[in-house]
Chain A
């Protein structure tokens, strides 16, 4: 029995290692933070160094949903649909103050943080966040993925 548990632990470590260095991300970009996403994603700051360089423009092929910018109530059902279309395992980063909390907009139009619509793994505050903060958030997500129980989502289901 002890040998089996050793094997599953090794498997979890290997799965986590593989997953954290091959994050295919889907950029859900609605506002000015998109500029900051571009600088973080392109050659200057280059998230490809962390294995997250392959942008997918279909949520069905992505592991990581990057919600970049203000999400309005008009758009909230679209964000929910995009999240539901992604395959497990999946992670979400809220990028910028608007996605984290609604930012400077507290009015009839703007959702007060995307965690009111979908679950969020890492929050990156800032208006807009510095590229260093984006990279820091990405590394924090990688740590989270490495230490997650790798079948945590399906094992929960009946």
Chain B
């Protein structure tokens, strides 16, 4: 599928749910509303798109303004050898997105990592718990509002002389 026809196809099939489709370095970028994230992803997984692989799922903190946190999903289609990026800005008051663990199993740990690092909740996740930091860690270290270099030791630390 050629790039233009792919973008046209996405527009025609997912028109209402997709806010914008653009081209970034040869790969299409979709911006969707968080409410329609799950339905859009479910459609992208099926033919004719066949994005069978969730390459990565991460989050960006833009530090200021409404929609400060943006989820970024990277998809890959094995049958067509093309990639796709999906973005969804979350409203500050309600940092919740739908979990995609039902579509891609590897979303499980990726969503746990985003929850751990950014404090974004995923509705419908089977076991949303911190992945990289430890029990008792307070706050979310990759947020721009997390105090700079603040460590939370588990055992007493000696001071450097």
Contact = CB atoms under 8 A, between A and B. Distances in A.
A77 B149 contact: no
Given A74-B134, A112-B160, A113-B160, A107 B149 contact: yes
B149 A76 contact: no
Interface string B94-138: 000000000000000000000000000000000000000110000
A138 B155 CA distance: 29
Interface string A69-86: 000011011001000000
A108 B146 contact: yes
Given A109-B141, A112-B160, A117 B155 contact: yes
B150 interface: yes
A74 B133 contact: yes
A116 B159 CA distance: 6
Contacts of A110: 151
A112 B141 CA distance: 17
A80 B155 contact: yes
Given A106-B149, A108-B141, A108-B146, A74 B160 contact: no
B149 A111 contact: no
A45 B146 CA distance: 45
Contact of B158 (A73, A74, A109, A115): A115
- Which secondary structure dominates chain B's binding surface? loop
A21 to B, nearest CB: 31
B157 interface: yes
B84 to A, nearest CB: 32
B145 interface: no
A108 B155 contact: no
A120 to B, nearest CB: 11
A117 B158 contact: yes
B157 A116 contact: yes
B154 A116 contact: no
A124 B141 CA distance: 30
With a 10 A CB-CB cut-off, give which of A80, A110, A112, A116 has the most chain B CB atoms. Answer: A116
A112 B155 CA distance: 14
Nearest to B139: A108
A106 B148 CA distance: 10
Given A108-B141, A112-B160, A115-B158, A76 B153 contact: yes
15 contacts: A73-B134, A73-B152, A73-B154, A74-B154, A107-B141, A107-B151, A108-B146, A108-B149, A109-B133, A109-B141, A111-B153, A115-B158, A116-B157, A116-B159, A117-B155
Interface of A: 73-74, 76-77, 80, 106-113, 115-117
Given A108-B141, A116-B159, 11 more contacts: A73-B134, A73-B151, A107-B151, A108-B149, A109-B141, A109-B151, A111-B157, A113-B160, A116-B157, A117-B155, A117-B157
